[in-house]
Amino acid sequence: MLFNSVDFAVFLPVVFFLYWFVVQKNLRLQNLLIAVASYFFYGWWDWRFLSLILFSTIVDYAIGLALSKEENVKKRKLLLWGSILVNLGFLGFFKYYNFFLDNFVSAFSFFGTELNANSLNIILPVGISFYTFQTLSYTIDIYRRKLEPTKNFIAFAAFVSFFPQLVAGPIERATNLLPQFYRPRTFDYNKAADGMRQILWGLFKKIVIADNCAEYANLIFNNSEDYSGSTLVLGALFFTFQIYGDFSGYSDIAIGTSRLFGFNLMRNFAFPYFSRDIAEFWRRWHISLSTWFRDYLYIPLGGSRGGISMKVRNTFAIFLVSGFWHGANWTFIVWGGLNALYFLPLLLLGKNRQNLGIAAQGKLLPNIREIVQMGSTFVLTVLAWIFFRAENLGHAFSYINDIFAPSLFEMPKVLPLLVLGLMALFILVEWVQREREHALEIHKGDGLLKKPVRWVVYISIIIAIFSFGGSQQEFIYFQF
């Protein structure tokens, strides 16, 4: 069920009505309704996926309880590894089986031995990478004694399957989201109103920006050999805004929807294209995944402690694994490695935390230095996205090679002025609102944004969605 579909437009009000007007006085029934609605939402794609998420929920619920009763260090480790192997085993089979098989066969073929191995026709369950990491954080935190296990199975099932963020995040920590299922929730108008504004901006990002950019990104990438270097640059630029509008738009809708039901999800994007270096970019892009890898992989490996060799190893480990998490293709691994190369000089020079604030904070315009920093970081990011979008490594390298041809200075063959204008407007709004949680967040002191003005903005966005929205596209991160 897509957020930008008629199905969801019917589903959400029905669940909202039942939640606040039928079962609002009973916390257990509220949690049960969330769990049932979430399973309905997830099963809308394919009911067969439900058995997988239910099994994962039961396994981690049981292991969590067992960990709380076990003091023997070896047995606790066995329980933890049981959770890791079950969760990553499912993820590995459904997402990476054919990748490893094909590369295994190719390796033998390289040495002159032909193997006869058939790939499997495996359907990748939607969102498996997201809820797998979410449940893993639960058992790992219990093992580390940072979290007490829940005895409330309904609350835990609702936490694992919570429909706003189930299929594309944010990847919530049990320490943040699970306790919210224990506490009574009352309707908060201000929170709900802010949630609606965030949903509206998320829909604008997805339907007007991402879906329009997708049309031209697909056209150019799928026929890259036919276009000039200048057109290929535009294609990379369109994909850069497609993936941002698509993924951050999903996160905005998820966070806003959760606020309608009294929940607070973690922030997942913080205007990353205004970053002044790659380290800042990764603090602002897909924050829930970046911090997950930091806390559960990078720091346990030693983090930035130790000598240069350890720093290099750990940096490449976190970025390569992050790339591989995105998909079973060498393009994602190279994308991760390229970002590691971007990040490593900052780490080794001790400059990876020099831009912790907001660009041009408290000012309307950035200074020259910030413009150069943001521009260079953006160019590096666009270059990396080419690997992310390309069909394979050969396509990525040929795409980049064709950019740096004499035709780079020709007039682009594809030049949709309306889409470029919408992108420019989008950038302007996000820049003005970059110090907020999201672009439509309202503060009490916003004197210029009186109620009539706000409603003009809301109605204008709604008109833009219906007037300029691109053809409906699935969210990119559903495939991960």
Which residues are annotated as catalytic?
326
Report the amino acid identity of residue 164: P
Coil, strand or helix at 125: coil
CA angle 240, 243, 247 (to 5 degrees): 145
Torsion of CA 286, 287, 290, 293, to 10 degrees: -120
Beta-carbon contacts of 78 under 8 Å, excluding residues fewer than 6 positions away, are none
Q: How many residues does the chain have?
A: 480
Backbone angles phi, psi at 25, to 5 degrees: -90, 0
Q: Are 338 and 382 in contact (CB under 8 A)?
A: no
Q: Which of 90, 122, 129 is nearest to 323 (CA)?
A: 129
Per DSSP, helices labelled H in 261-367 are: 278-284, 287-293, 308-326, 330-348
Burial class from Cβ neighbours inside 10 Å (0-12, 13-18, 19+) for residue 156 reads: buried
Q: Which two tokens stand for residue 418?
A: 């309306």
Burial class from Cβ neighbours inside 10 Å (0-12, 13-18, 19+) for residue 166 reads: buried
Q: Is the peptide bond before 452 cis (omega within 30 degrees of 0)?
A: no
**Rg, the chain, Cα only:** 23
